[in-house]
Structure 1
Amino acid sequence: MDEGLRERKKRETRERIADIAMGLFMARGFDDVTVAEVARAADVSVNTVFNYFGTKEDLFADRQDLAVDFPARVVAGREPGESVVRAFRRDFLDAIDTRHWRYGFNLGGDVFARIVQASPSLVARLREIHAERERSLARSLADAFDAAPGDLTPHTVAAQLLAVTRVLQEAAVRQMLAGESWETIAADLRSQAEAAFDLLEHGLGDYRGRTG
């Protein structure tokens, strides 16, 4: 169904408020900007801001619904005969190639990370989003593989998959914050990702480290 005029205007207003808020957060930091200041800059009332965003943190994480849904979409978008691990490997490598925001690889991802690190409330909110992603992915896996009630396998798999992508993402962001070029980061990240997904695909049984 095509988007109606009312829905389009609401979406555009929401996006405008979020964009203005992000500009203020980038300029001054999250904790030093009030919702009232965002409302004034967007030429709307504070109540209007809260009609679109439940909390100030939601203004910053305005794509959180998409972020939570992405892992389940990877499961749903598997190619015929493709395993879940291979689907996530393919998705992650594609994000490296396209510098997609879903893993924080976009231009400005380092700025986003700095703002989060400087705000305890944003750190907490991002932690909540990660937990929501894991629960959403676990539900998707349970549905896809018809898991029995009480079977912990879907949640175990979800936790492992998202832990790997999170570790890789955090490593890349650290390099971005250190000022390394994306070309250097991407080459190292691709190699590290291949090794990490190999471990997921083949298991940890042969991972012994140094033995002497």
Structure 2
Amino acid sequence: MSDVATGLMLERGFDAVTVAEVAEEADVSVNTVYNYFPAKEDLFFDREGEMTERPSRIVRERAPGQSAVRALLAQLREDITSRSLYGGVVEGYDRFARRIHEASTLMARLHAMHQRTADRLAATLREETEAPPDDPRPELVAGQFVYFANALFRTTTIAVSRGASSEEAVRDALERVAVFESLVTEEFLNYAERPGG
């Protein structure tokens, strides 16, 4: 159902497609659609749970001796060089991004997803470091990293949509990661280092 909905929405725009049309095209009832996807936006962002949980999972799975931020940056570099969707170097993604920017409800959902990602990552960092409730560092580290990752993704997808080759986009994205790394403190980069390295 989500694939059907996304195809229709990419073709005609999010607001132009109704849930009833999705149901008809998928050969199911409208109630069935709503049973699986409580809101129309859920059809478009069907991987929201995976996306918001991913940074936390990367932190939980980091190697002994590796900090949370270094684990996240290493995975970001891997996503970029492998031309993964998570790195933004994906041809054709510009159509998806354009539909998001055209629909205010999708933009609102995207911003909410970014906040949930940061909140989830902050909770994971607090748990991993056993930080007391009054320690602001988990929220600050999570917020800073998520903001940077989102800004990088946006910049990279825009570059690809404007005709940059994947090689150019990869080179530029990796340079931006290096610049970010050079601007932040060692305390930030080494935050939540896993013991045993």
Q: TM-score, normalised by structure 1?
A: 0.84
CA RMSD of aligned residues (A): 1.5
Q: Are residues 1:92 and 2:76 paired?
A: yes
Q: Within 5 A, what are the aligned runs for 1:20-31? A: 20-31=4-15
* Cα shift at 1:164: 1.3
Give the whole-Å Cα distance in 2 for the aligned partners of 1:103 and 1:66: 15
CA gap of 1:109–1:201, structure 2 versus 1, over 3 A, is: farther
Q: Are residues 1:198 and 2:182 paired?
A: yes
Give the whole-Å Cα distance in 2 for the aligned partners of 1:165 and 1:201: 17
Unpaired segments ≥5 residues, structure 1: 1-16, 205-212
Unpaired segments ≥5 residues, structure 2: 189-197
The corresponding residue for 1:6 is none
The corresponding residue for 1:74 is 58
Q: Are residues 1:32 and 2:5 paired?
A: no
Q: Is the 8 A contact 1:85 1:161 kept in 2?
A: yes
Quick one: higher RCO (CA 8 Å, sep 6+), 1 or 2?
A: 2
Secondary structure of residue in 2 paired with 1:82: coil
The corresponding residue for 1:163 is 147
Q: Is the 8 A contact 2:41 2:105 kept in 1?
A: yes
Give the whole-Å Cα distance in 2 for the aligned partners of 1:136 and 1:71: 8
Give the whole-Å Cα distance in 1 for the aligned partners of 2:46 and 2:151: 23
Q: Are residues 1:149 and 2:136 paired?
A: no
Q: TM-score, normalised by structure 2?
A: 0.91
Which 4+ stretches in 1 moved above 6 angstroms? none
Give the whole-Å Cα distance in 1 for the aligned partners of 2:52 and 2:17: 26
